[in-house]
Amino acid sequence: MSTTKTIQSALISVFSKDGLEPIVRKLHEQNVTLYSTGGTEDFIKNLGIPVVPVEDITSFPEILGGRVKTLHPKIFGGILNRQDNESDVQQMKEFDIPQIDLVIVDLYPFEKTVASGASEQDIIEKIDIGGISLIRAGAKNFKDTVIVASVNEYSLLLELITEQNGATTLENRRLLATKAFHVSSHYDGAIFNYFNTDETIYKESIADGQVLRYGENPHQKGFFFGDFDTMFKKVHGKELSYNNLLDVDAAVNLIAEFKTDGPTFAILKHNNACGLASRKTISEAYLAALACDPTSAFGGVLIANTKIDLAAAQEINKLFCEVVIAPAYDDEAITVLQEKKNRIILVQNEVELPSRQVRTCLNGLLIQDRNNITDTKEHLKTVTITEPTAQEIEDLIFASKICKNTKSNTIVFAKNGTLISSGTGQTSRVDALIQAVDKAKAFGFDLTGASMASDAFFPFPDCVELAKKAGITAVIQPGGSIKDELSINYCNENNLAMVFTGTRHFKH
């Protein structure tokens, strides 16, 4: 039996009619018998095209307010019959079941209804029963049946039936079946997640994915699954790479800590801040951030918490950087930044990030709640005789925000709303502190009067000893070591102010 089949009959039952008209007209032109229900039936009739109501096949009307329309043996027999199976052929004749070669379905918009904040009653009514059953039936029997399960595939179907004069190959039908099972599994996953309250069960389905140039290294394949266009408007530049996306993610999380602060600019490299400053203008903030570590800034990702103006753009344009991100840009600023052909320019939209973070681990996944705690003045508990000054408190909070978004073990130095230096990703907190001190000296920064943040507690007083020698006058840390008193005593003996937050900010 030939694997190429010509469509002679079609069942159409869709929610979205967008793009359906040319398909219906083409099928009619090819003498295809059309079956339909409800609103879709009316749509076809209004085009002046003959259509057979489903109840003419089933001899049973729509019931229960339209909840039951297509759920009938004559409908599913027409879809599921095996045309090369003699028993199926005989039963089709015996029960007067019409052959259905093509099924076109577009499901009720369950996810959009949930996202709209609709009532539970409205949400439940958007759980499609007949449509999802038609999809599964058509996809299961792809050997004989063409299934189109979404408005997204309307154009593909129109292309196939136009170019092949109403015929489809087995490869065509298998491709459409694959897309159909994707639609049905995604749909069911969304419904489950709406109802699920068991945190030990995890299901995720992301409909939109894209192939990246490569992964972390050129020999690795890379993919991104997510709705990038909802988060950003890409104004200019080359396609983002796997590493670009990781840095953009780190940048977005970092700048979110300074969302309500004055003009703040951050420069990141390999997911860590190498420069960050808050100033009266975004141009001044950029220059101060760049001065933190102009060497590492080369090829980095830049992000601002407010509009980038012409003055800032002119300064940024002097630096080779991969990506620039801001909530808005002056037109003149865009013109300047576009002078570098490959520079990626992104406008960041207001989008709520997922409440959980997921990463692969061993032969499974690790899932955790997002770290949504940002240290504030209200969290601080002064544990030393010396209390931090108002400026030191501001710098401690500033340093803590950066520390939270830097790879552990980490130490961050800040002064007057500026990142001075940091020690990142070290196996020892002492090593992280030494690295930060050395880096500050290398770029000519005076640590006298600077504040220090640590992402975890000090088990010994060695870190505060080194900090004092470097010129640090105030320290912020979570506290919680059984030997906290050793560090507190040293600070008391050496006029250091130290505050505890009670919150650890590891980032592995």
Residues 6 or more apart whose Cβ sits within 8 Å of residue 283: 309, 311, 312, 315
Long-range contacts of 501-504 (CB under 8 A, 24+ apart): 501/375, 501/379, 501/380, 501/381, 501/400, 501/476, 501/477, 502/379, 502/381, 502/478, 503/373, 503/375, 503/379, 503/478, 504/455, 504/456, 504/457, 504/478, 504/480
Distance CA(444)–CA(219), nearest Å, equals: 40
Amino acid at 483: K
Instruction: Tell which residue, 347, 378, 381, 354, has the closest CA to residue 368.
Output: 354
Distance CA(279)–CA(98), nearest Å, equals: 74
CB 137 within 8 A of CB 164: no
In sequence order, what E strands does 374-500 have? 381-382, 411-414, 419-423, 451-454, 474-477, 497-500
Token pair 């109501």 is found at: 53
CB 234 within 8 A of CB 344: yes
Instruction: Tell which residue, 377, 437, 374, 421, has the closest CA to residue 277.
Output: 421
Could you tell me the CA-to-CA distances from 244 to 2, 183, 213, 250, 370 in Å, in that order?
49, 30, 11, 10, 21
Q: Which of 17, 26, 140, 186 is catalytic?
A: 140
307 catalytically annotated: no
The tokens for 174 are 């298998």
* Cα angle, residue 389 at apex, residues 384 and 394 outer, rounded to 5°: 110
140 catalytically annotated: yes
Distance CA(376)–CA(84), nearest Å, equals: 72
Number of C-beta neighbours around residue 476 at 10 A: 29
Instruction: Tell which residue, 176, 222, 184, has the closest CA to residue 205.
Output: 184
Instruction: Tell which residue, 143, 126, 167, has the closest CA to residue 1.
Output: 143
Q: Which of 236, 270, 307, 379 is catalytic?
A: 270
Q: Helix, strand or coil for residue 45?
A: helix
Distance CA(38)–CA(286), nearest Å, equals: 60
CB 124 within 8 A of CB 114: no
Q: For 371, left (φ over 0), alpha (ψ -120 to 50), or beta?
A: beta
Could you tell me the CA-to-CA distances from 75 to 10, 18, 36 in Å, in that order?
11, 25, 11
Return the sign of the alpha-carbon dihedral for residues 441, 446, 448, 454: negative
Q: Report, as residue numbers or ranges, the catalytic residues.
A: 140, 270
